[in-house]
Amino acid sequence: MRRRRLGSSDLEVSEIALGSWLTYGQSVERSRAEACVRRALDLGVNFFDTANMYGRGAAESFLGEVLVSVPRGEYVLATKVYFPMSDTDRGLSREQIHKQLDASLERLRTDYVDLYQCHRYDVDTPLEETMQALTEVVAAGKARYVGFSQWKPRQIRAAYALADTVRFVSSQPRYSMLDRRPERRLFPTCDELGIGQVVYSPLAQGVLTGKYAPDRPVPENSRAANPELGRTSKRFFDPAILGAVARLGPIAESLGLSTAQLALSWVLRDSRVTAAIIGASRPEQVEHNIVAAEIDLDQATLDAVDRALGDVVRR
């Protein structure tokens, strides 16, 4: 598994990271979830992404249980803070950052996380307070580096402009063949400031595997078949999008790949993308998907992808 350096940090992370939203500690049975993580480790994945709010702590607890048997220096652990953990616990105040990180570390059974990410921007807390608190947790050795998810360029620049506070090394946007909006302003801003992209939902929650065909019923046991889990992927179930994704099949096939592998190698074609965070409900998906990290797509393939997707791409 190839590795890339994350922004201006000294973290070397696998091009494929394994995430835990909606899956581990939640919908995926314990033994299967553990098999996914172990398979990933065996195949060279060293980067694991979670958040305090995934299953209200359950995803972190699960990862803590499984990773406790792995030497701490062998994996890069990223978690997040911002979304509600109770009626009164939410946001990026100094108090919350200290309190939520301590709780995350306890669940994750470790003294430090490699990357602590602000899950969203907190409009109710002064940015100075958030950045000062992040500086404190880095100085205390509880987080090695800090990052954010879905912040706007002007918010990123405002954080960068503050004196004597820690600098972000990582950005976590939603990015895939279907949703390229971060290319417009986020990627160039971060590139200038030494911030790498760790992109989420690179398979558009499974849609870019091609398994949701426009003329077939939604497969059983898939995320979209579950009303609760499938809520956030509904936007992709437009016949035009599913039809365009179906046109990717022959392009992938001509390269000896699946649509999922093509979609993942497509996000990794951009050197500003440090890693793609995949979700996996089965170890076979981990195995199948990480093949993408070995593939370099040529310009003719990229052009064919653009023609196949046409105007369903959000730019």
What are the catalytic residues? 54
36 binds ligand NAP (CB under 6 A): no
For residues 171 and 148, is the Cβ–Cβ distance under 8 A?
Answer: yes
Going from the C-alpha of 238 to that of each of 193, 206, 222, 243, 245, the distances in angstroms are 37, 14, 17, 9, 11
Q: Of 130, 202, 236, 242, which lies in the binding site for ligand NAP, with binding defined by CB under 6 A? A: 202
Helices (H), the chain: 30-42, 58-67, 94-108, 127-139, 153-161, 186-192, 239-246, 248-254, 259-268, 283-289, 299-309
Size of the site for ligand NAP (CB under 6 A): 27
Alpha carbons 193 and 137: distance in angstroms, whole number: 22
Site track for ligand NAP across 38-57, x = CB under 6 A? -----------x--------
77, β-bridge pairs: 48
- Sole window of 18-26, 98-106, 134-142, 240-248 interacting with ligand NAP (rule: CB under 6 A): 18-26
Query: 62, 81, 69: which is closest to 41 by C-alpha?
Result: 69
209 binds ligand NAP (CB under 6 A): yes
Alpha carbons 166 and 8: distance in angstroms, whole number: 12
Report the residue number, 136 or 219, with the smaller CB distance to ligand NAP: 219
Q: Of 53, 131, 204, 241, which lies in the binding site for ligand NAP, with binding defined by CB under 6 A? A: 204
Work out how close the CB of 129 gets to ligand NAP at its nearest, in angstroms, rounded to a whole number. Answer: 22
Work out how close the CB of 202 gets to ligand NAP at its nearest, in angstroms, rounded to a whole number. Answer: 5
Site track for ligand NAP across 282-301, x = CB under 6 A? ---x--xx------------
211 binds ligand NAP (CB under 6 A): yes
Q: 220 to 239, contacts with ligand NAP by CB under 6 A?
A: 222-223
Specify the DSSP class assigned to residue 217.
Answer: P
Work out how close the CB of 260 gets to ligand NAP at its nearest, in angstroms, rounded to a whole number. Answer: 4
| Residue 164: burial class (beta carbons within 10 Å; 0-12, 13-18, 19+) | exposed
For tokens 């000896």, the residue is 256
Q: 151 to 190, contacts with ligand NAP by CB under 6 A?
A: 172
Q: Of 9, 14, 23, 171, which lies in the binding site for ligand NAP, with binding defined by CB under 6 A? A: 23
Report the residue number, 55 or 279, with the smaller CB distance to ligand NAP: 279
Going from the C-alpha of 17 to that of each of 4, 45, 165, 198, 275, the distances in angstroms are 11, 6, 28, 8, 6
Work out how close the CB of 139 gets to ligand NAP at its nearest, in angstroms, rounded to a whole number. Answer: 25
Site track for ligand NAP across 126-155, x = CB under 6 A? -----------------------x------
Specify the DSSP class assigned to residue 219.
Answer: P
Alpha carbons 195 and 191: distance in angstroms, whole number: 6
Report the residue number, 136 or 313, with the smaller CB distance to ligand NAP: 313
Binding site for ligand NAP (CB under 6 A): 19-21, 23, 49, 149, 172, 200-206, 209, 211, 222-223, 260, 277-281, 285, 288-289
